[in-house]
Structure 1
Amino acid sequence: MTVRPAPLPDRTAVPADRPTPIPTRWVGPIRISGNAASGEIHVPLATYETPLWPSVARGAGLSRLVADGIKVTLVDERMTRSVLLEAPDAETAYAAARAIHDRTEELRRLTRRSSRFAELLGIRHEITGPLLFVRFEFATGDAAGHNMATLAADLLLAHLLQHVPGLAYGSVSGNYCTDKKATAINGILGRGKNATAEILVPRSLVAGRLRTTAARIARLNVHKNLVGTLLAGGVRSANAHYANMLLAVYLATGQDAANIVEGSQGITYATDRGGDLYFSCTLPNLVVGTVGNGKHLPAVEAALTRLGCRDERPTGQNARRLAAITAATVLCGELSLMAAQTNPGELMRTHTRIERASGDRHEH
């Protein structure tokens, strides 16, 4: 019998009980003002794309040289879940939809029974043949609200099946929500927090810090983010790389990272105001929360605490603060990249220099 030597251990493997941390750095501070957060705030970015740190840092440094910094206006917030109901025909589905809307106040009362933080904000519907899609929109306090919305929707669905004639169960989620997919409905109606971050950068700072002009950035924004995205068939999306900053913040703060799919939708707007640069990022789908699944992890707890998102505030204010900080972070990275791309070769030179210099040396 041939005895084979035991295989050598794989020294590159990580034990199953020892997760590999994602390289994380605190960047900033970013100067933020607006209706949901204010002050100079450092932000954690968890990413393997090391050039993201200095890129966001450049935008953050610029924010500190402007009186109001980056102004973030939170304009709406709602978490959605759509249920699917089946009827014999479209006529029955339409009658059922009218009956459901007539029961709005009743459904609001029922929603409050599912959670003390859940509030039914609105109901929308769509009919396709005999199929009735009902999109419930909820306020969910400081939670991102995935589970809270599903729990409430499940309760409402059971109630409707019992009290509205002609309907049968289809699904507790009918993809009209829409969760973790880039869709027109989310871009139009919003899902999560809807925020706009904006900054007015004086001509001297555009030239000195960004090494470009307002006219060149505004021109590139039209040609790249608007026309280029249109030709590519983008869905309610006209930006350079929102997803990079969103993923880095989401991972560092315990969010459901798959929500960057709808979160990456949004519009960058830039215009030349007499040599000064007005620059804004509008994000209609910021799905963030400061309580709930994932927020109990020590690193996440520490990050949210340092961000000031675990303070004693009225319900919902901590999540709104996190959304504002996230939107400002997106603007920092978006502005820095757009400025770099107005200069031939700058983007690749910067990436190469930073990645070669950093190697595996990451700060945790």
Structure 2
Amino acid sequence: MAPTPAKTSPKVTSAPVPMRFVGPMKISSQKSLDNAWQDKVSVPLATYEIPLWHSVGRGARLSTLCDEGIKTTLVDERMTRSILLEAKDASQVLNAWRSIEMRQDEMQLIVSETSRFAKLIDMNMQIVANLLYLRLEFKTGDASGHNMVTKAADRLMQWVLDEYPTLSYSSISGNYCSDKKATAVNGILGRGKYVVAELSVPRDLCERKLLTTPEKIVDLNIKKNLLGTLMAGGLRSANAHFANMLLGFYLATGQDAANIIEGSQGMVHAEVREGDLYFSCTLPNIIVGTIGNGKGLDFVTQNLARLGCSEEAESGANARRLAQICAATVLCGELSLLAAQTNQGELMQAHLTLER
């Protein structure tokens, strides 16, 4: 009888993606949870789409010529996990929820036993028939927080089941989180870092560097990003290609790339102000971290350090800086593409030239 072959673990290999630093771009962070800061930053983008480097680069160069550069404001931060519980009927579910929502301080004590960084900051719920969808929202320090919030939610769920015997387990995740899905709840409540990036471009720079006018960009944003997305049935989204910049940035900085699904939900707003262009990108779902899975790879460690996101600072400050740099990167690529699309043939010619 032949011996049984020894079991071996599948070999782990790498899938190299071309990466290049683009910039620098000028960023002026507005005071929110951290002190205001201003910096010129070159950003790494890992992508097979070579023209993306040049497009983001054009927006980055433009930002250095504008007085304040790209202003970034971190509006909010939270990572979510929704547990799914059930009871005999809706009345039992509602009675349990009314009690649970009054006990958040007790629940935080349980959360603190799972991680010194996790903090329960809010809860939202939906009742469907006899089902309770409980969306738990946490701060997670410098981690993006996927595993941290799941661990905390798992402990909280057991506490709820012990305290409320009318409820029973259905799932550790009820999709009301909502992880890696484009949903209205994420667009409204946010998941990850909620960042607004803004740039004021003088008319002459718009004409000389972007080869277009403020009026043309505003007009195209209305007709393409707003009306076009509406006609397509877009969900809490009005942008040209947020996902391109997010994916390149996420891969280069060790993030969970699947989170570009909710990350790509966001809005572009543009106005003509006294003849100049005001251009902004609002991203309510930037999910990034500077510690945790993927951050131990050598190239990721080096990239985060070069971005200034490996400093000794209060918990969460590095991740907040990274999210704002990410939002500024999205703005650079978004503005450059919209400018190109105001001129017939420019986009295709750029791809043909650069990809050859």
User: Is TM > 0.5 for Structure 1 vs Structure 2?
Assistant: yes
* Partner SS, residue 254 of structure 1: coil
CA distance in 2, matches of 1:81, 1:330: 26
Q: CA deviation at 1:123?
A: 0.7
- The answer to whether residue 218 in structure 2 is matched with residue 223 in structure 1 is no
Question: What amino acid sits opposite 1:311 in the alignment?
Answer: E
Instruction: Please name the residue that 2:254 is paired with.
Output: 254
* Partner SS, residue 21 of structure 1: coil
Instruction: Please name the residue that 1:32 is paired with.
Output: 27
Q: Tell me, yes or no, if the aligned pair for 1:340 and 1:347 is still in contact at 8 Å.
A: yes
Instruction: Please name the residue that 1:172 is paired with.
Output: 172
1:88-110 deviations in Å (ceiling 9; x for gaps): 11101100111110111100111
* Partner SS, residue 50 of structure 2: coil
Instruction: Please name the residue that 2:326 is paired with.
Output: 326
* Partner SS, residue 65 of structure 2: coil
What is the TM-score when the length of structure 1 is the normalising length?
0.93
CA distance in 1, matches of 2:56, 2:290: 22
CA distance in 1, matches of 2:121, 2:303: 31
Q: CA deviation at 1:18?
A: 4.6
Identity of aligned pairs, percent?
Answer: 60
1:277-331 deviations in Å (ceiling 9; x for gaps): 0000000000000000000011111111111100111110000000000000000
1:10-21 superposed matches below 5 A:
18-21=13-16
Instruction: Please name the residue that 1:299 is paired with.
Output: 299
* Partner SS, residue 293 of structure 1: coil
Instruction: Please name the residue that 1:289 is paired with.
Output: 289
Q: CA deviation at 1:19?
A: 2.0
- The answer to whether residue 54 in structure 2 is matched with residue 63 in structure 1 is no
1:175-202 deviations in Å (ceiling 9; x for gaps): 0000000000000000000000000000
Instruction: Please name the residue that 1:9 is paired with.
Output: none
Structure 1: runs of 5+ lacking an equivalent: 1-14, 357-364
* Partner SS, residue 166 of structure 2: coil
Instruction: Please name the residue that 1:279 is paired with.
Output: 279
CA distance in 1, matches of 2:80, 2:337: 32
1:69-84 superposed matches below 5 A:
69-84=69-84
CA distance in 2, matches of 1:102, 1:316: 27
Instruction: Please name the residue that 1:311 is paired with.
Output: 311
What is the TM-score when the length of structure 2 is the normalising length?
0.95
* Partner SS, residue 237 of structure 1: coil
Question: What amino acid sits opposite 2:226 in the alignment?
Answer: L
CA distance in 2, matches of 1:102, 1:317: 30
Question: What amino acid sits opposite 1:228 in the alignment?
Answer: G
Q: Tell me, yes or no, if the aligned pair for 1:196 and 1:283 is still in contact at 8 Å.
A: yes
1:113-164 deviations in Å (ceiling 9; x for gaps): 1100000000111000000000000000000000000000000000000001
CA distance in 1, matches of 2:136, 2:334: 32
Q: CA deviation at 1:274?
A: 2.6
* Partner SS, residue 269 of structure 1: strand
Q: CA deviation at 1:165?
A: 3.1
Instruction: Please name the residue that 1:190 is paired with.
Output: 190
* Partner SS, residue 74 of structure 2: strand
CA distance in 1, matches of 2:66, 2:150: 43
CA distance in 2, matches of 1:296, 1:99: 42
Which range is displaced more, 15-24 or 104-113?
15-24
**TM-align CA RMSD:** 1.1
Q: Tell me, yes or no, if the aligned pair for 1:96 and 1:165 is still in contact at 8 Å.
A: no
1:219-257 deviations in Å (ceiling 9; x for gaps): 000000000000100000000000000000000000000
CA distance in 1, matches of 2:70, 2:262: 23
Structure 2: runs of 5+ lacking an equivalent: 1-9
CA distance 1:16–1:165, shift in 2 (3 Å): closer
Instruction: Please name the residue that 1:200 is paired with.
Output: 200
1:131-146 superposed matches below 5 A:
131-146=131-146
Question: What amino acid sits opposite 1:127 in the alignment?
Answer: I
* Partner SS, residue 331 of structure 1: helix
